Amino acid sequence: MERHLSADAATADERAAVDAILSRPPSPWVGGERSPHALHAARRDESAVPPRDLLLPALRALQAEAGGVSRGAISYLAARMDLPPSDIYGVAAFYALLDVDAPPEAGASVKVHLCDDVVCQLAGAESLIAKLRDRYGAEGEPAGGVSWHRSPCLGQCDRGPAVLVQRAGTYAADIAIASATAEDVARAIADPTPAPTPPATVPQAGDASLVVLRRIGRVDPADLDSYRHAGGYESLRRALALGPESVIQWVTDSGLQGRGGAAFPTGVKWRAVASQAARTHYVVANADESEPGTFKDRVVMEEDPFAVVEALTIAGYATGAEQGFIYVRGEYPLAAARLRHAIARARQRGFLGSNVMGRGLSFDIDVRQGAGAYICGEETALFNSLEGRRGEPRNKPPFPTVHGLFGKPTAVNNIETLLNVLAILAVGPERFRAVGAEDAKGTRLFSLSGAVMRPGLYEAPFGTRLGAVIDMAGGLRPGRTLQAVLLGGAAGSFVGPEALDTPLAPAALRPIGATLGSGVVVVFDDTANLRHTVLRIARFFRDESCGQCVPCRVGTVRQEELVARLAAGTPRGSAADEIRLFHDIAQAMRDASICGLGQTAASAVDSAIRLGILGREGGPA
C-alpha cells in the first residue's frame, strides 16, 4: 500500500543507523533513495520488508544516533518497514528512553536518568538531584546538550543512588553508574571511555554450597572456558542425555516454581508448550527486571552470563523451540553486552547454532533490549514489545503456552527460574527439593537493600525467617530500630517488625498479606519517611501503567492523588472517608484490570494503611 509520509527526510546518519539494524535496502523500491533511472520498473518484494520485531531495535538505534526519533527518521522507517508513521510514533512514544518530543540536533545530546525511587531515596537521591539541578538546570530542560530526568528504579539498589547516562551521537553509549556522585555523572557525560563498573555486591560470593549464585565471583563472565571449568555445560550435556521428556519430568519433580513473581510451576509450563502440536515454539528469558528494589537478575546476567545462555538452551531443548530471546531491560547495558558476548562465544564453540554440542540440535538466542517500561516485564506486554508494538498486555486467555510470541506457543521464564534448572539437572530433582519450605522448593534470591549494613544480593532457602535474611546483611546500622520492611517490591507490601519471625515462603506469608514477589526486601529504619515512600510507589504505578484499561489508567491516578492527600495530612473529609474511597479504588483495580500491574497497584498502599503508615485519624504532621 502506498503510505502517506511526511516530507521530512532522515539524515544520512539516521538512515545508516536504521540500515545497520534492518540491513541495507535491497532496492530503491523498499525505502532506498530513488534515482530517476530506477523509476523504469515498479515492483514490490514482500520478502524485502524487514520483520516488525526489528522496530524497537531500530528505534533504539535512532535514539543512540540522534538523541531522539525525528520525523524524518520515522518516515524512513515507515518506508523501509512498510508501517504507518502514526503506528511507529505510537510505539516510540510508549517508551521512556525514546524521545519523540523534538529531538535535539544530532551529536549533542546527553540524558541523565536519576533514580529517585524508594531505595535510592534512602541513599541520598535528592541531594544528588539538587547538585545536578545546580549544574544542569531544571529537570527536563536541556542545557548545553544535557538534560536530566527523575527515573523509576534502575535496578542498582544495592549501591544507590543510581544513574543511567544515555549518550547520543559520536560517543553514543548507555552508562549505568552506581553509586553515583555529581562528579561521576560529569565524567560519564564528557569522557568518551566511561569508567569500568564496580563489581556486583554479592557478599556470599564464592560459597560453593549456593544453588543459584555458586559461580558468582568464581567465573570470568567473559570466558567460556572459565565457565566450563566451573561445571558449565554439564547440565546441558545431562539434558541431552535424558531427552526432552525426562528434562520436563525432572523440572516438574523438583517442584520448581517461577521466580518472576507469579510462582507458576515451571515443569507444568514447559510441558504445556512442548505438547502443543502447532509449530514453531519459542522460549523467552524475561530479563526486564523493573520491579522497584529488584536487582537479582542483573547481577546474575552480569556475573554469570553463560549460565543464562546454557539454561535457556535447555529450556529450548525441552520445549521444542529452536529460537530463544532474552529481553533485557534497556537500563541494563552491561548485562546486555555480557550476554551478547557470551552468546557469540557459545555459538563459536558449537554450544549454539545448528548442531548444538554435536547432537544435531538446532538452537540460537537473540538479545533484545527494552526502552524504559516496567510493564514490558509482564509476559504478554513483553511479547508485544518484542514484536515491535506498544507494550500493552494482552488479555488472557489465551495463555502464552498456546498463543505467545508471534502467536506461537511460548515458554517465558524469569532469569532466576532458568538458573535453577541448571541446578536441578546437576544434582537431580530429589536433592534439589530437599532444600526449602513445604510449599516452595529450593532457594530464593533476595535483593536486599535499604537500611542494612551490607546491602546486596543474597541467596537463602525458602522458609528462612525474614529476620535471619536481614541478619545475613549484618542487620541494621548501629543504634537504629526497624520501622518496616517492603517485601516483594512496589507490587508487594509493607510488613512491620513483628514479621521478622515469619518464614519467607508463600503459605507463611499469606496470613500477613504478603508475598515474596520478585524477592525484594527493602529495610526501613526509624529515620525513614515512609509516607514519602508510599507516595513514590503510587507515583510509580501511575507512570508505569500502560494506559490501556480504565481501572488502572485512571485508578492509579486517583490512588496517587489520595495518597498525596493522606501523606500531607490534608484528607478530603476525614481520613476514614479517604480510606473508604481507597478501598473502592483498590477493589476496582484488583478486580477489573487487564493485567497484574493494575491488579497489584494498590497492594503496597493497602498494607501501609493497614500498618498505620498512612491514614491514621488526625493525620501525620
Ligand X SMILES: Cc1cc2nc3c(=O)[nH]c(=O)nc-3n(C[C@H](O)[C@H](O)[C@H](O)COP(=O)(O)O)c2cc1C
Q: Verify binding: residue 413, ligand X, rule CB under 6 A.
A: yes
Q: Verify binding: residue 510, other proteins, rule CB under 8 A.
A: no
What is the radius of gyration, based on Cα positions, of the chain? 24
Q: What does the per-residue mask of binding to ligand X show for 557-596, with x meaning CB under 6 A?
A: --------------------------------------xx
* Residue 482: strand pairing partners: 525
DSSP string, 104-156: PPTT--EEEEEE-SHHHHHTTHHHHHHHHHHHH-STT--BTTEEEEEES--S-
Q: Is the CB of 333 or the CB of 372 nearer to ligand SF4?
A: 372
Exposure letters 79-115 (e unless 16+ CB within 10 A, then b): bbbbbebebbeebbebbbbbbbeebbebeebbbbbbb
Q: Is the CB of 266 or the CB of 483 nearer to ligand X?
A: 266
CB of 50 to ligand X, least distance (A): 27
Q: Is the CB of 75 or the CB of 266 nearer to ligand X?
A: 266
Q: Which of 143, 195, 262, 568 binds ligand X (CB under 6 A)?
A: 262
Q: Which residues bind ligand SF4 (CB under 6 A)?
A: 375, 393, 545-549, 552-553, 593-595, 597-598
DSSP string, 88-99: HHHHHTT-TTS-
Whole-angstrom Cα distance, residue 91 to residue 100? 10
Q: Verify binding: residue 385, ligand X, rule CB under 6 A.
A: no
Size of the site for other proteins (CB under 8 A): 68
SS3 28: helix
Q: Verify binding: residue 122, other proteins, rule CB under 8 A.
A: no
CB of 358 to other proteins, least distance (A): 46
Q: Which of 203, 231, 547, 620 binds other proteins (CB under 8 A)?
A: 547
CA distances from 501 to 168, 220, 459 (A): 49, 38, 18
Q: Verify binding: residue 590, other proteins, rule CB under 8 A.
A: yes
Q: Verify binding: residue 379, ligand X, rule CB under 6 A.
A: yes
Q: Is the CB of 39 or the CB of 93 nearer to other proteins?
A: 93
Whole-angstrom Cα distance, residue 19 to residue 24? 5
Whole-angstrom Cα distance, residue 459 to residue 214? 10
CB of 85 to other proteins, least distance (A): 4
Whole-angstrom Cα distance, residue 85 to residue 77? 8
**Sign of the dihedral defined by the CA atoms of residues 76, 80, 85, 90, in that order:** negative
Q: Which three cell numbers stand for residue 63?
A: 535514539
Q: Which does 433 bind (CB under 5 to 8 A by kind): ligand SF4, ligand X, other proteins, none?
A: none
Whole-angstrom Cα distance, residue 213 to residue 444? 10
CB of 614 to ligand SF4, least distance (A): 22
Q: Is the CB of 269 or the CB of 345 nearer to ligand X?
A: 269
Q: Which does 261 bind (CB under 5 to 8 A by kind): ligand SF4, other proteins, ligand X, none?
A: ligand X
DSSP string, 412-445: EEEHHHHHHHHHHHHHHHHHHHTSEETTEESEEE
Tell which residue, 439, 528, 513, 436, has the closest CA to residue 477: 528
CB of 524 to other proteins, least distance (A): 22
Stretch that binds ligand X, among 67-75, 114-122, 413-421, 440-448 (CB under 6 A): 413-421
Q: Which does 6 bind (CB under 5 to 8 A by kind): other proteins, ligand X, ligand SF4, none?
A: other proteins
Stretch that binds ligand X, among 21-29, 154-162, 255-263, 468-476 (CB under 6 A): 255-263
Whole-angstrom Cα distance, residue 560 to residue 539? 6
Residue type, 614: L
Are 588 and 551 in contact by the 8 Å Cβ rule? The answer is yes
Count H helices and E strands in the chain, helices first.
23, 16
What DSSP designation does 617 have? T
Whole-angstrom Cα distance, residue 209 to residue 203? 14
Q: Which three cell numbers stand for residue 488?
A: 516483594
CB of 387 to ligand X, least distance (A): 16
Interface of this chain with other proteins, residues 384 to 423, rule: CB under 8 A: 390, 395, 397
Q: What does the per-residue mask of binding to ligand X show for 93-132, with x meaning CB under 6 A?
A: ----------------------------------------
Q: Which of 55, 66, 95, 321 binds other proteins (CB under 8 A)?
A: 95
Q: Which of 544, 575, 602, 611 binds other proteins (CB under 8 A)?
A: 544
Are 487 and 520 in contact by the 8 Å Cβ rule? The answer is yes
Q: Is the CB of 316 or the CB of 377 nearer to ligand X?
A: 377
Q: Is the CB of 291 or the CB of 459 nearer to ligand X?
A: 291
The torsion angles phi and psi of 139, rounded to 5 degrees, stand at: -55, 135
Residue nearest to ligand SF4 (CB): 598
Q: Which does 379 bind (CB under 5 to 8 A by kind): ligand X, other proteins, ligand SF4, none?
A: ligand X
Q: Which does 264 bind (CB under 5 to 8 A by kind): ligand X, other proteins, ligand SF4, none?
A: ligand X
CB of 597 to other proteins, least distance (A): 10
Q: Which of 33, 36, 41, 101 binds other proteins (CB under 8 A)?
A: 101
Half-sphere exposure of 255 (CA within 13 A, CB side): 15
Interface of this chain with other proteins, residues 6 to 45, rule: CB under 8 A: 6
CB of 377 to ligand X, least distance (A): 2
* Residue 281: strand pairing partners: 321
Q: Which does 260 bind (CB under 5 to 8 A by kind): ligand SF4, other proteins, ligand X, none?
A: ligand X
Residue found under cell 530479563: 287
CB of 493 to other proteins, least distance (A): 17
CA–CA–CA angle 297, 301, 306 (5° rounding): 135
Q: Is the CB of 412 or the CB of 537 nearer to ligand X?
A: 412
Q: What does the per-residue mask of binding to ligand X show for 263-302, with x meaning CB under 6 A?
A: -x-x-------------------x-xxxx-----------
Residue found under cell 532506498: 32
Residue type, 225: D
Whole-angstrom Cα distance, residue 454 to residue 480? 15
Q: Verify binding: residue 371, ligand X, rule CB under 6 A.
A: no
Per CB under 6 A, residues contacting ligand X are: 258-262, 264, 266, 286, 288-291, 375, 377-379, 412-414, 417, 595-597
Per CB under 8 A, residues contacting other proteins are: 1, 3-4, 6, 71, 74, 84-90, 93-96, 98-101, 140, 149-150, 152, 372-373, 375, 390, 395, 397, 539, 542-551, 553-558, 560-565, 568, 570, 572, 581, 584-585, 587-588, 590-594, 599
